[in-house]
Structures are given as C-alpha cells and as structure tokens.
Chains A and B, each alone.
Chain A
Amino acid sequence: QSVLTQPPSVSGAPGQRVTISCTGSSSNIGAGYDVHWYQQLPGTAPKLLIYINTNRPSGVPDRFSGSKSGTSASLAITGLQAEDEADYYCQSYDTSLSGSRVFGGGTKLTVL
C-alpha cells in the first residue's frame, strides 16, 4: 500500500488526452511538498518527466504537463503516441515516514 495513490492503469487511443492522478494526504502533497513524475519504459530505468509539480526537463515534449492542487497532483499527456506506453510514477516527500521520500504505486499507460 503506497502512501501516494495512483490508478493501476489508464488507456487511450493515439492522439487522445489522458490524465494520471496521484492522491496524497496532509503529511505529503497536502503539506505543500512538491510532486515529481517519472516515466519507466519496459525494461529500462526510470526517467524524470516532471519536476517540482509543473516543470519539464530539457528534452521532454510539451505534450507532458503536471499540476498540483490540495492533496493531489496530476500528469496529463496530450496527443498520445505509441511510444508513451509505459509505467508512470509520482513521487513526493512525506513527514510521517522516517525515510521521507515516497513513490506512488505506479500507473500502466496502454496506448490502444
């Protein structure tokens, strides 16, 4: 059971828009801590997709965007492409845990 809750799976057709939610609580996202998003293609290491809620690293297409409100955050992908099929993880900081960094359980995106 992850501290940050993500839907196990989402799907969409090429060209469509999909969103992935990341729901936290008052000890993490709701406390004002930033949310980061990672993409993990099959058999590869995770890659940073969005940092500090809304920022894209150099090289990440602007089809990917992040937002945060209250105790939740979302990743939106527009103009869905076949190569977007991957696992997506949100990550934040949690004050209730001794270690403090937490990941969501991950969401598998399927491009139909």
Chain B
Amino acid sequence: EVQLVESGGGLVQRGGSLRLSCAASRFTFSSHWMHWVRQSPGKGLVWVSRITSDGSSTKYADSVKGRFTISRDNAKNTLFLQMNSLRAEDTAVYYCARERLGAAADAFDIWGQGTMVTVSS
C-alpha cells in the first residue's frame, strides 16, 4: 500500500526547534513533489511548504518563511521539515502530502496520518 508516515512531533518550548520526518513507501518517492500542510486544533487546513522532486526548489507560506526548512533524502525516501524559532501559533497537526504526477499545481493524493506539534509558552 502506498503510504506516508510522519514522526518527530511532540511538546517543545517557545523558541525551540523540532525536526519532522515523513517516510514514504511503495511508490517512486523521487518522482513526486512533496508538501507539508498543518491544521491547528479545531481549525482548517493550511499549506506550509513544498519541495520539488529533486529538492532543487522550495517554497514556504509567509507565516513560516525564514523559520522552517523543507528538505528531502530521495535515497532514503524521506521528507523533512526543520522547524526553528517555534511560536505558540505553530501548534498543529502536521501532515505530509504527495502531489499527483499530472498537471501543474496538481492535487495532494496521498496524505500521512499526521504528527502533533505543541509549542508551550
């Protein structure tokens, strides 16, 4: 079964750092653009970041730019999100998601189960 499994979430103090991982299985990871999407408790989905298939290009939402870094290791089929200078408003479930191989700006067809990040003040 095609799968994404996130890990690395937890409780961290304001100003601290955390590194999320997303392990991909049963598909050609190196062919797909990948994304991080977050959801604060009781709120909607918010796009966070994306990385191209070869890792050469990244983009970020304004709310995390300069603090978060997306990266990938295609040899290990793993996506990462390094989160620094964490704020209370970064508290959320973080999902990794695969972008379809199709049109430009295509849909996210595979999602992980999510990992919870809680930033305490």
Residues of A within 8 A of B (CB): 2, 33-34, 36, 38, 40, 45-48, 51-52, 57, 87, 89, 91-93, 97-106
Chain A residues within an 8 Å CB radius of B107: 34, 36, 48, 51-52, 91
Contact of B45 among A51, A52, A97, A106 (CB under 8 A): A106
Which residues, 23 to 52 on B, are CB-close (under 8 Å) to A? 35, 37, 44-47, 49-50
Contact of B105 among A46, A47, A48, A93 (CB under 8 A): A93
- If the complex has contacts A46-B111, A98-B59, are A2 and B95 also in contact, measured as CB distance less than 8 A? no
How distant is B107 from chain A, measured CB to nearest CB, in Å? 4
Interface bin, chain B: 20 to 34
Please measure, in the bound complex, the distance between the C-alpha atom of A2 and the C-alpha atom of B105, giving whole angstroms: 18
How distant is A56 from chain B, measured CB to nearest CB, in Å? 11
Chain B residues within an 8 Å CB radius of A52: 102-103, 106-107
Chain A residues within an 8 Å CB radius of B106: 34, 36, 51-52
Q: Mark B51-66, 1 if CB is under 8 A from A, else 0.
A: 0000000011110010
- If the complex has contacts A52-B107, A97-B62, are A103 and B112 also in contact, measured as CB distance less than 8 A? no
Contact of A48 among B37, B44, B50, B109 (CB under 8 A): B109
How distant is A102 from chain B, measured CB to nearest CB, in Å? 6
A45, B114: Cβ atoms closer than 8 Å = yes
Please measure, in the bound complex, the distance between the C-alpha atom of A38 and the C-alpha atom of B113, giving whole angstroms: 15
- If the complex has contacts A46-B45, A46-B95, A89-B44, are A100 and B109 also in contact, measured as CB distance less than 8 A? no
Please measure, in the bound complex, the distance between the C-alpha atom of A106 and the C-alpha atom of B39, giving whole angstroms: 11
